[in-house]
Structure 1
Amino acid sequence: MDAIVFGATGFIGRSLVAELLARGQRVAAAVRNDTLTPWLTSEGVDTGGLTVVTADITRPLSGLPEARDVYNTAARFAFGLGVPEARATNVTGALHVLEWAATLPRLRRLVHISGYRVSGAGSEPDYAALGAYEASKIEGDQAVRARARELEVPLTVANPSTVIGPGQYIGLAAMVDDLWNGRLPALPGGPDVFLPIVTLDYVARFLAEIPASPEGEHYWVLDDTTPLLPELIGTIAAHLGVRAPRRTVPVGLVRRLPRRITGADPETLSFLSADRYPTEAARAFAATAGLEMPPAVDALRAWADDLVASRFGAASAWLRPYGFRAVAGSRTWVAGERHHPAHVLLHGLPMNADLWAPVTPHLPGPVLAPDLPGLGRSAATDRPVDAWLADLLGPVRTRPVLVAHSLACGPALRFAVEHPERVSRLVLVSPAFLQAPGPWLNRSRLAVPMLRRMSAARLAGTLHLPEGPEVASAAADLRRPGVAGRVITALRAAFADRGRSRALLDRVQVPVEIITGSADPLVVDVGHPVAEIAGAGHHPQLTHPAEVAHLISG
């Protein structure tokens, strides 16, 4: 083998394997369970040069294929670990990898992944003060360096900072989660806290270059231009369209307050520091290797999109590309093809664009699916929804089929009447203005707190739907500050506008098709084709997606 990677199913390890394979190397991936191959396949990585081997580094290693380069990316990274559990991987396991590497006759380099806060620490690890994770990483770093000198193993230690990218949900991600869900009233630490980041892609490329470099150097891999923590969180907040906390709380005070009040894990507090790190060698090496970090602010914004798309690890993104975009002066969640969609899909209430996930695989051509302003993941706007829709469709260069569900049918109809040259056809799925007012949601002053407290199971029952990822996604959004209130406001406005929408049906100049479920029929006669799906209710795209897609496709 050209290389063997321990911890190959981990966040860094799997991306390193993908990078090495892309460079044409023969790679052995040492894993306990092979979740790596499906992930590589899903990422479009050619696995022809991959050999997967079973290994448990907490035990002495033997019977593994020889390799020229050995990477140890394995680590037990979590807070609240027990000492034996943390030491088994971060200390004992690291030494097992080193001692096995020392037996290789053609070893060029052992690359050990340590940490920017722990590497080179001179003091003995204090498990009581630091917690099992950080203390075990310090002990492991010291032990690996000392043993490598004894065995004369060519060693390079890489010390990445907070690594961000798709799949990273620990550490800083938890703070972004709290920010997104309105649970971050103040920032822990002072205004000078420096929490450096580095992107996953950059780390993988950096690690892949190390074995060809002279041995003996150790690298702190991080972006010195990372904004200080208040600015960093402010940048992410502005991108997400949420309010950033204006106050900071000193770390010493956070330590003294009960965790049930602060929500802060004591083990994370040592990372909230103003310290800077010796990055000169890493920057010089990167320049020699032709590596360049992406701008920190751009990386943070892209990562924030990934976190929201994956619901901070609770779901998988179903439509790419995705992210927050400026539409009508507000931050709008937009997924899919923005310039050449064949279909534009607008969701109803209280859902979001994930409503269309079951339908999209059955549709021909690319789709564009946004969250409506102030709903789902999108921030509120002070401009009318009609202006928002016009701005959203401004970059579109095709004449797509405009598809709307429930209360979104009104804005879609108005756009088609005003801009018939912009759409080829209008499809109205369960148009609320043509149906009986639904009993699923009252519009009283008690509706907002009721809606915010709804679990996914209760929301599914209220909507007469099976519990699934689309309903869970909607329930998660409804718990965010302001969303439930805006749902009720939009509901009242749409019901007040029913007569106007009905009148517009006589003026629309593009072909119109209406889709309903047999359990949720129209109560008004219309002069347009109506397709009724047997056994469906108000959300046929969730219960009968293939049939809805067939009707949308015409």
Structure 2
Amino acid sequence: MDAIVFGAAGFIGRSLVAELLGRGRRVAAAVRNDTLTPWLHAQNVDTGGLTVVTADISRPLTGLPHARDVYNTAARFAFGLDLAQARAANVTGALNVLEWAATLPDLRRLVHISGYRVSDADPDRAGLGAYEASKAAAHHAVRARARELGVPLTIANPSTVIGPGQYIGLASLVENLWNGRLPALPGGPDVFVPIVTVDYFARFLAEIPASPAGEDYWVLDDTTPLLPELVGTIADHLGVRSPRRTVPVGLVRRLPRRITGTDPETLSFLSADRYPTASARAFADRAGLEMPPAADALRAWADDLVAARFGGASPWLRPYGFRGRTWVMGEPHRPAHVLLHGLPMNADLWAPLAAHLPGPILAPDLPGLGRSAPTAQAMDAWLADLMAPVRTRPTLVAHSLACGPALRFAVERPDRISGLVLVAPAFLQPPGPWLTRSVLAVALLRRMSAARLAATLGLPEGPEVASAAADLRRPGVAGRVVAAMRAAFAERETSRSLLERVRVPVEIIVGSADPLATGAGHPVTEIAGAGHYPQLTHPAQVARHLGAVADPIG
């Protein structure tokens, strides 16, 4: 083999395998369980040069395919480990990889992944957590043993590695920020937590074996903003409030974790230290490698974290991300369908229906709801901005409360859409009485578990309801849901009158358990057995009836 990668199913390892395969290398991927191959297929990586082998680096290694280049990306990266757990993978495992590499007749290089904070740390220094102490011990042990055995070694010391799938470390701080649980930043204003993207680091690692051995590379972005600015950049992108206060690390250490929400092991990483990156920068220049701008990388990673619910879910539609203050999923320029969700849901409401629709779709979270930040724009202006980049004439599909804005857009801009589908239009149905009591409704919504929300809405528990429940717990969202419902109720008569003026094909879809309270003047399809959310409970039937409106025109 050209290379063997230990820890190939991990966050760094899988990206390295993808990079090497993309360069036409024959790669052996050493894993304990093969979660790698499905991930590579999902990334559209050609796996023709891949051989997957089973290996447990906590034990002596035998029977593995020979390779010129050996990469050890395996590590137990977690906080709260006991020392024995951490050392088994991070120290014993690293030495086992080295001992095996020393037996290879054509070994060109062993590349060991260490860390930017542990390289010069005393592994016996007091105050280190199990993870950091084990990585420091491994760094020194691998270097000493490689020298004894004459193994050509390069050590790469990455900083905080970010990218899709990284939910540990700095990601926890972003999650607290997103959920309104970060009233102050731990550390002072000069704290430097550098980043590097996983794609860049994988390219860097792929270049190492062709360079001279014996070097240590600190791989990080020197231009990473200091922690307060870093958090401010992410907060501005997410449309949430950034903490303005800092709390000294010493004080955070003395406070109970239930108050700070901070794992004590992470506090040693909150430092103003800088790192010797000159050799890594020179190496990157020779290899033609260029880091993406730190702010752009942080914003893209924040999108990935929100899309994946910080590791709790898998995104159902790509691309995704914030466009201004609005969370948008799908095709922004040439959609066949534009889907506007009702309340108290978000764009994930459409996932079951989307699986039955032909062509690309565009599905935003309404302003101030779901994952979108509030805006001073009126809803009609917001919808016009959303549709501005669209170059097709899509079918506009709206649910419940969103039917009013969708109808107004159809009346004002019939040239922009080919048809209008109103699913359970709220302005033609009676309001739920419990939602008119705004204070009580907000309190109820904020405290609802996914199971309770599903029961309240008459829906089965599922990822769409869980997604909505998670958003309702975020600061301000429940209040804005109730305010939007009350505003829509006040516009009911206006919306009804617009049905007579719309000049594009209109289809109205309701559930048999949630019928209209008044006439519509347009064709109405009733889905047997469905309630207020037929696109969730009966997506195939709803998709069939969307054909009653005009096909999208490119």
Give me the TM-score of the superposition, normalised by structure 2.
0.98
Letter of the 2:247 counterpart: V
**Equivalent residue in structure 2 for 1:161, among 155, 159, 162:** 159
**Equivalent residue in structure 2 for 1:249, among 247, 250, 257:** 247
Aligned to 1:196: 194
* Residue 451 (structure 1) aligned with residue 445 (structure 2): yes
Could you say what secondary structure the match of 2:438 adopts?
coil
Aligned to 2:489: 495
TM alignment of 1:209-358, pairs within 5 A: 209-326=207-324, 331-358=325-352
Query: Matched residues in 2 for 1:439 and 1:309: separation?
Result: 33
**Equivalent residue in structure 1 for 2:507, among 488, 509, 513:** 513
Aligned to 2:417: 423
Could you say what secondary structure the match of 1:312 adopts?
helix
Identity %: 82
Please, which moves more after superposition, 381-390 or 289-298?
Answer: 381-390
Letter of the 1:297 counterpart: A
Which runs of 5 or more residues in structure 2 are unaligned? Answer: 549-554
Letter of the 1:300 counterpart: L
Query: Matched residues in 1 for 2:383 and 2:107: separation?
Result: 60
Q: Deviations over 1:14-38 (max 9, x none)?
A: 0100111111111001111111111
Letter of the 1:227 counterpart: P
Query: Matched residues in 2 for 1:474 and 1:273: separation?
Result: 37
Q: Deviations over 1:238-287 (max 9, x none)?
A: 00001100000111111111212111111000000000000000000000
Q: Deviations over 1:153-174 (max 9, x none)?
A: 0000000000000000000000
TM alignment of 1:98-113, pairs within 5 A: 98-113=98-113
TM alignment of 1:323-402, pairs within 5 A: 323-326=321-324, 331-402=325-396
Could you say what secondary structure the match of 2:171 adopts?
helix
1:55 is displaced (CA, Å) by: 0.5
TM alignment of 1:437-476, pairs within 5 A: 437-438=431-432, 441-476=435-470
**Equivalent residue in structure 2 for 1:544, among 517, 535, 538:** 538
Aligned to 1:185: 183
Aligned to 2:94: 94
Could you say what secondary structure the match of 2:494 adopts?
helix
Could you say what secondary structure the match of 2:420 adopts?
strand
Aligned to 2:50: 50
Change beyond 3 A, Cα 1:386–1:297? same
1:439 is displaced (CA, Å) by: 5.1
Aligned to 2:551: none
Letter of the 2:39 counterpart: W
Query: Matched residues in 2 for 1:480 and 1:193: separation?
Result: 27
Which runs of 5 or more residues in structure 1 are unaligned? Answer: none
Asked if 2 retains the 8 angstrom alpha-carbon contact of 1:413 and 1:504, the reply is: yes
Cα RMSD, aligned residues only: 0.9
Could you say what secondary structure the match of 2:352 adopts?
coil
Query: Matched residues in 2 for 1:439 and 1:460: separation?
Result: 18
Aligned to 2:116: 116
Question: May I ask how many residue pairs the two structures share in their alignment?
Answer: 548
Could you say what secondary structure the match of 1:41 adopts?
helix
Query: Matched residues in 1 for 2:297 and 2:465: separation?
Result: 30
Asked if 2 retains the 8 angstrom alpha-carbon contact of 1:364 and 1:553, the reply is: no
Could you say what secondary structure the match of 2:309 adopts?
coil
Letter of the 2:358 counterpart: P
Query: Matched residues in 2 for 1:316 and 1:440: separation?
Result: 33
Query: Matched residues in 1 for 2:166 and 2:295: separation?
Result: 17
TM alignment of 1:14-53, pairs within 5 A: 14-53=14-53
1:124 is displaced (CA, Å) by: 3.7
Asked if 2 retains the 8 angstrom alpha-carbon contact of 1:440 and 1:463, the reply is: no
Could you say what secondary structure the match of 1:157 adopts?
strand
Asked if 2 retains the 8 angstrom alpha-carbon contact of 1:196 and 1:223, the reply is: yes
Query: Matched residues in 1 for 2:187 and 2:544: separation?
Result: 55
Letter of the 1:528 counterpart: H
Letter of the 1:156 counterpart: T
1:99 is displaced (CA, Å) by: 0.2
Q: Deviations over 1:352-383 (max 9, x none)?
A: 00000111121111111000000000011122
Query: Matched residues in 2 for 1:392 and 1:440: separation?
Result: 32
Could you say what secondary structure the match of 1:92 adopts?
helix
Could you say what secondary structure the match of 2:355 adopts?
helix
Q: Deviations over 1:74-113 (max 9, x none)?
A: 0000000011100000000000000000000000000000
Asked if 2 retains the 8 angstrom alpha-carbon contact of 1:164 and 1:197, the reply is: yes
Aligned to 2:552: none
Asked if 2 retains the 8 angstrom alpha-carbon contact of 1:125 and 1:136, the reply is: no
Query: Matched residues in 1 for 2:5 and 2:345: separation?
Result: 43
Query: Matched residues in 1 for 2:374 and 2:260: separation?
Result: 28
Asked if 1 retains the 8 angstrom alpha-carbon contact of 2:192 and 2:272, the reply is: yes
1:436 is displaced (CA, Å) by: 2.4
Could you say what secondary structure the match of 1:52 adopts?
strand
1:444 is displaced (CA, Å) by: 3.4
